[in-house]
A and B are shown apart, each in its own frame.
Chain A
Amino acid sequence: MTARALLVLASLLVAIFAASPARAERLIVSVSNHRVTVTPNYSGEELVLFGSVERDADTPLGRTNYDLVVTVIGPRADMVTRRKERRVGIWINSDYRQFLQVPTYLALFSNRPFDQIASPEVQRRQQLGLNNVLLMQRVGPDYADVVPDDVFRSAFVRLRSERGLYRQETSAVTFLTPTLFRSTIPLPAEVPIGTYNVEIKLFTDGALVTKADTAFEIVKVGFEQFVANTARQNGLAYGFVTAAMALMTGWMASIVFRRD
């Protein structure tokens, strides 16, 4: 009991020290729902992220020109982008680029354009904007990200954006008061199941002041979860049931529609 209390105390102390660097602001954030459940009538959802900038005695008094960048990163997966080319009169996939462990969902929100928040150098270092987020690729023998206007990278970002899975909005974060902010996180219906990390970065005068993390998860529950789990863990039984279901449906129909 005492050991546990000590542990809690220690971790609290660590947390306090970690959260109070030289610059004295601190971010308190939360999302409206930490667990999005997928039910039969699920068709996407919109989460609200809200929070405030906590100031203390060390904070320079007149400082209120805050900028905020919210990055939402969905579960990661490997993907391939292919390019079609015309060969002997027909269009076939010729060239491809592998994207390794890239986010399946990626959203970047801020209160004003990234150019106005920080210098290009800071933007690159802090991965502000879809052009600066690290998308690891396999280029020949190397593993690296490439320049933003690379054909494969820009096609990849464009195709994901068309499906609403990659998005960047530089007016999505609203400061309600100089220190209180909110933003919405739109999740389209085809958003992948899994854990989503939300990273909030606070900037002032073009420099990073502090950052905070939170997360939410999208999970299947009830019937959806049961079906998905059975399909994965009991393939044979699942196949039998589906096949039996097919035969039953066919047989029922022939009874229902029997005329003689």
Chain B
Amino acid sequence: MQLYLPIADIPVNVFLVLAMGAAVGFVSGMFGIGGGFLMTPLLIFVGIAPAVAVASVASHIAASSFSGAISYWRRRAIDPTLALILLSGGTIGTALGVWTFTYLRSLGQLDLMIGLSYVVLLTSVGGAMAYEGLRAMLRTRRGGAVTLRRPGSHGWIHGLPLKMRFKRSKIYLSIIPVIFVGLVIGFIGAIMGIGGGFILVPLMIYLLRVPTSTVIGTSMVLTLVTMIFATMLHAVTNHLVDAVLALILMVGGVTGAQFGARAGQKIRGEHLRLLLGLLVLAVGIRFAVELVIRPTDLFTIRETGGGAP
């Protein structure tokens, strides 16, 4: 069934977009990530203008992370205090990121910067996660206990002042690294146009030692707030949010996210990390290949309206 999108100005197959939303929603519910780094390239592939795709995906991620967050909340798998402190850092990071974005664009070559940061971030984060997941799996197979939180190994992070007790997560931690993580995610998210869930989850696990039980739900809250903020920002500044496209994506996305969240609870933590690591790594490699392989067409056209390129 074809449907004409009022802002994207092209007709799309409703069922195809629904299926794409559901697939990405499943992944996002399972791993507690927004899935923007998967959805945006998919939409561009279908023929939607990149700017419209990025803007509309933000609201889609908001919807699926909200539905995911509700079901995690019911399972008491969200740490509200931790989410709040992460958000305070995230807001500052987003503001800094938007400012840097504008500055980079004035220098030109923003596209290349985005492409390169995708490659570097996705391959390194994905590689590290896949490696860690694999090692944890091998350790369990050999019969050793999986101890993500090694009780004796208090790193430098635990020596920092301003410590706080996060009841739901059962950790006692300084708020300085928490704010710092929020700041980094907000910054990266604003520059790359993604929620940053796939970086946030490993940072929370490895750096902050947040237990797996609350890490996904809490990261979803952060994704939800940033993406609502991003939707508003895109709607006000660029007028490029396609509500019809967003609604189709949302309906598919929230459905997928529910099943994904359920599947995610059944899979063991280290398997989950290995899977997510491999997924992120695969997308990163795809971006890298695009940069390295000779493109089939060396030329591209872009409409610029009245402005400079």
Give me the interface of A with B, judged by CB distance under 8 Å. 38-44, 77-86, 89-93, 96, 98, 104, 152, 155-156, 158-160, 189-190, 192-193, 220, 223-225, 227-228, 231-232, 235-236, 238-243, 245-247, 249-254, 257-258, 260
Contacts and interface: CB of A to CB of B under 8 A. Distances in A.
Given A89-B292, A243-B59, A245-B246, A159 B65 contact: no
Contact of A260 (B63, B74, B302): B74
A78 B4 contact: no
Interface string B206-239: 0000000000000000000001100111111101
B67 A231 contact: no
Interface of B is mostly: helix
A91 B60 contact: no
B299 A83 contact: yes
Contact of B112 (A92, A190, A220, A249): A92
B239 A232 contact: yes
A189 to B, nearest CB: 5
Contacts of B11: 41-44, 189
Contacts of B67: 249-251, 253-254
B161 interface: no
B294 interface: yes
Contacts of B109: 92-93
Contact of A227 (B60, B74, B244): B244
B137 interface: no
Interface string B1-24: 011101101110000000000000
A235 B109 CA distance: 28
B232 A78 contact: no
Given A93-B300, A96-B309, A239 B235 contact: yes
16 contacts: A41-B11, A78-B304, A91-B295, A92-B112, A159-B299, A231-B6, A231-B240, A239-B231, A239-B232, A245-B59, A245-B250, A246-B66, A246-B228, A251-B66, A253-B258, A258-B74
Nearest to B67: A250
Interface string B47-78: 10000000000011011111111110010000
Contacts of A38: 4
Interface of B: 2-4, 6-7, 9-11, 47, 59-60, 62-71, 74, 109, 111-112, 227-228, 231-237, 239-241, 243-244, 246-247, 250-251, 254-255, 257-258, 290-295, 297-307, 309
Of B9, B47, B111, B244, which is in contact with the most chain A CB atoms at under 10 Å from its CB?
B9
Nearest to B108: A93
Given A159-B301, A238-B235, A250 B62 contact: yes
Contact of A236 (B236, B244, B254, B295): B236
A258 B71 CA distance: 8
B291 A80 contact: no
Given A83-B299, A235-B237, A91 B3 contact: no
Contacts, number: 192
B9 A190 contact: yes
Contacts of A86: 294
Given A38-B4, A41-B4, A91-B291, A249 B254 contact: yes
Given A232-B239, A247-B66, 7 more contacts: A38-B4, A42-B11, A159-B300, A238-B243, A250-B66, A254-B258, A260-B74
A250 B254 contact: yes
Q: Which 4 A/B pairs are nearest by Cβ-Cβ distance? A: A239-B235, A250-B66, A253-B254, A250-B67
B231 A246 contact: yes
Contact of A249 (B2, B228, B251, B293): B251
A93 B111 contact: yes
B199 to A, nearest CB: 22
Contacts of A228: 6-7
A98 B71 CA distance: 51
A42 to B, nearest CB: 5
Contacts of B300: 81-82, 84, 93, 159
A221 to B, nearest CB: 11
A40 B241 contact: no
Given A38-B4, A81-B300, A242-B59, A253 B255 contact: yes
